[in-house]
Amino acid sequence: MARTKQTSVRKPAAAPLTTHKTVSQSTSPPQSNKAQTGKKVPRAKAEPASTPRSNKASAATAKSPSQPLDLSDDDRQRLKEWLDKSERPFSVATTALSKKRKRQSGEPQPAQTDLYEDRLNVQYEVKPKNSWDSLRRYKKFTVGSESMAVGQVILVKHDDSEEAKIDVGAQWKGKVLEVRALDSEHVYLRVAWLNRPEDLPGGRKAYHGKNELIPTNQMDIIDAMSVNGSVEVMFWNEKDDESSLMNEEQYFWRQTFDYANTKTFSKLRQICVDSAPQNPDEMIVQCGNKECRKWLHVKCIAEAAVEEAASEKKKSKKAKSNSVSTSTKSSTQSSAIAVAEKNDYRAEVFVMGTPNDPKLVPADTTEIAMFLPDGKKLTKALGCLFCGVEIE
Ligand SMILES: [Zn+2]
Ligand SMILES: [Zn+2]
C-alpha cells in the first residue's frame, strides 16, 4: 500500500502581484521598502504590557523587559513632533551574531535568538537608538478590533487600496518581535519578515508550495497602522512521513533564509530519482519494498511512464526524433494525481483512495492509465523508479 502525503488538489495560485517588494542581494543594510501606510488614521492603540507599572517588583521577577524612564512633558512633545514629521522614523540594521558581544565595551548590542531556527540568530540595532529606547515597551497592541501580541505573525498592507486589504497572499507577513509606543497614535513594531519564495534570491521553484513562506532575519520597524490582522503560520516537517495534511489556505514554513549573514537557505530533504524536494501541494508515494523504501514524486512516475512508452514506439518504428518536451500538470477534471504528456502519449497516475477532494471521485485502484497516439488506452501498475517493485 502506498503511503501518501498531501493529497488535496489545490486551486491555482493567485496571479502574481508586481507591487510586492523584492529583496535585493546588495550588501547595504537590510532596510526594505516595505512602506508604512495609514499613519494618519488614528485607530491604532497600544495595550499596556501585562505587568502594571505600579508593580515593579513582580515585573522584574517575571523577566519583563525593562521600561524607559518617564519622559518630561517637553521631551515627550519633542519626540511626538519628530515622529509626526518623519515618514519612517526608525530603521533597524542587522549583523551576524558575535561571540564577543558581551565583552565589547559599553552596552551589548541586542540579539534576536528566537527566530524559527538558530541559524537566523542575529544582532540588531535600531536607529536612532535614543528615541527608540525612550518609547515604552508593550507585549500587545490593537488595530481596529483585533488585538495582537509579540510572537504573532501579522499581515502588513503595502498600499491603502481595498484590494490590498483583501488579498492575503500579496500582503507582507512579519513576525512581531517588539512593540513600542509613545501613545495610541504612535505605535511601532519591530518585525522580521516571512517572505514568499518569489521574493527571495532564486525565486519560486517547482517544489515550493502555494502557501509556503520562508522566515528570514530581515527586520524592519513598521507603523502599527499598516497592520491588517494576523495570520497563523504552521511548521511543516517534511521529514515526518506521518505529518498531517494541511488545508489549502494554511500558511506554513519548512525552510529559513539567513538574510543578515550568509544569504543562504536551510537545506530541504531531497527525494526520488531527480533528487528534488517535495512540493507539499503534490503527492509523493513510498516504495513498499523493505530494501528500498524510497519516496517518489507521483509526477516523476507519470513522466517516466510517458518517456518509456514514447521511446519504445520510436525504437520500433525508427520514427523521426521530434523533441517535444515533457510537460506535466495536475488534471483538474479527473482524479488523476499527476499527468504527463509527450508527443501523443499521455500518462495519468491514479492512487487508490485519492484525491481527498469532495468535487472528485477518489480512484479505486492505484495504476497508470496510458493513452496512446492511436486512441487506445492501457493500464499498468506503478513501479518504483529505483527498484522496479510494484507500488500498490
Ligand atoms: Zn521525482
Ligand atoms: Zn523501490
**For residue 209, how far is its CA from the centre of ligand 2 (angstroms)?**
26
Q: What is the pLDDT of residue 273?
A: 97
Three cell numbers at 250?
494554511
Residue 168 reports pLDDT greater than 70: yes
Please tell me the number of the ligand nearest to residue 293's CA. 2
**For residue 272, how far is its CA from the centre of ligand 1 (angstroms)?**
4
**For residue 290, how far is its CA from the centre of ligand 2 (angstroms)?**
8
Q: Give pLDDT tens digits for 320-379.
A: 444 444 455 444 568 999 999 999 999 999 999 988 888 899 999 999 999 999 999 999
- Of residues 361 and 162, which shows the higher confidence score? 361
**For residue 336, how far is its CA from the centre of ligand 2 (angstroms)?**
22
Please tell me the number of the ligand nearest to residue 296's CA. 1
Q: Give pLDDT tens digits for 88-112.
A: 999 999 998 876 655 455 678 899 9
The DSSP string of 12-49 is PPPPP-TTS------SS----------TTSTTEEEEPP
Q: Could you tell me how far CA 16 lies from the centroid of its own chain?
A: 15
Please tell me the number of the ligand nearest to residue 391's CA. 2
Q: How far, in Å, CA of 143 to CA of 149, rounded?
A: 11
Q: What is the pLDDT of residue 83?
A: 96
**For residue 299, how far is its CA from the centre of ligand 1 (angstroms)?**
7
Pick the closest to residue 363 from 374, 377, 352, 372 (CA basis): 352
Three cell numbers at 206?
517547482
**For residue 275, how far is its CA from the centre of ligand 1 (angstroms)?**
7
What is the average per-residue pLDDT within 135-159?
93
Q: What are phi and psi of 281, to 5 degrees?
A: -85, -10
Q: What is the pLDDT of residue 245?
A: 62
**For residue 171, how far is its CA from the centre of ligand 1 (angstroms)?**
32
Q: In which residue ranges of the chain is CATH 2.30.30.490 found? A: 26-265
**For residue 128, how far is its CA from the centre of ligand 2 (angstroms)?**
60
Distant-in-sequence, close-in-space partners of 283: CB < 8 Å, separation ≥ 6: 4, 5, 6, 7, 298, 337, 338, 351, 354
Q: Give pLDDT tens digits for 28-69.
A: 333 455 544 444 444 556 554 444 443 333 333 334 557 898
Peptide bond into 128 cis (omega under 30): yes
**For residue 271, how far is its CA from the centre of ligand 1 (angstroms)?**
7
| Sheet containing 44-47: order of strands | 44-47, 140-143, 146-149
Neighbours of ion ligand 2 (CB under 5 A): 287, 289, 292, 384, 386-387
Q: What is the pLDDT of residue 124?
A: 96
Q: How far, in Å, CA of 256 to CA of 216, rounded?
A: 6
Neighbours of ion ligand 1 (CB under 5 A): 272, 274, 297, 300
Q: What is the mean pLDDT of the chain?
A: 81
Residue 120 reports pLDDT greater than 80: yes
Full-model pTM = 0.79
Three cell numbers at 372?
496512446
Q: Give pLDDT tens digits for 253-281.
A: 999 999 999 999 999 999 999 999 999 98
β-bridge pairing 367-371 and 377-380: antiparallel
**For residue 276, how far is its CA from the centre of ligand 1 (angstroms)?**
6
Q: What is the pLDDT of residue 161?
A: 74
Q: What is the pLDDT of residue 239?
A: 82
**For residue 274, how far is its CA from the centre of ligand 1 (angstroms)?**
5
Q: Are 91 and 29 in contact (CB under 8 A)?
A: yes
Distant-in-sequence, close-in-space partners of 332: CB < 8 Å, separation ≥ 6: 9
Q: Give pLDDT tens digits for 223-232.
A: 999 999 999 9
**For residue 306, how far is its CA from the centre of ligand 2 (angstroms)?**
19
**For residue 228, how far is its CA from the centre of ligand 2 (angstroms)?**
48
Residue with cell 535614543: 130
Please tell me the number of the ligand nearest to residue 390's CA. 2
Please tell me the number of the ligand nearest to residue 383's CA. 2
Please tell me the number of the ligand nearest to residue 275's CA. 1
- Of residues 352 and 314, which shows the higher confidence score? 352
Fold adopted by 26-265: SH3 type barrels. (2.30.30)
Q: For residue 228, what are the CA distances in angstroms to 89, 142, 165, 224?
A: 20, 11, 7, 9
Q: How far, in Å, CA of 298 to CA of 346, rounded?
A: 14
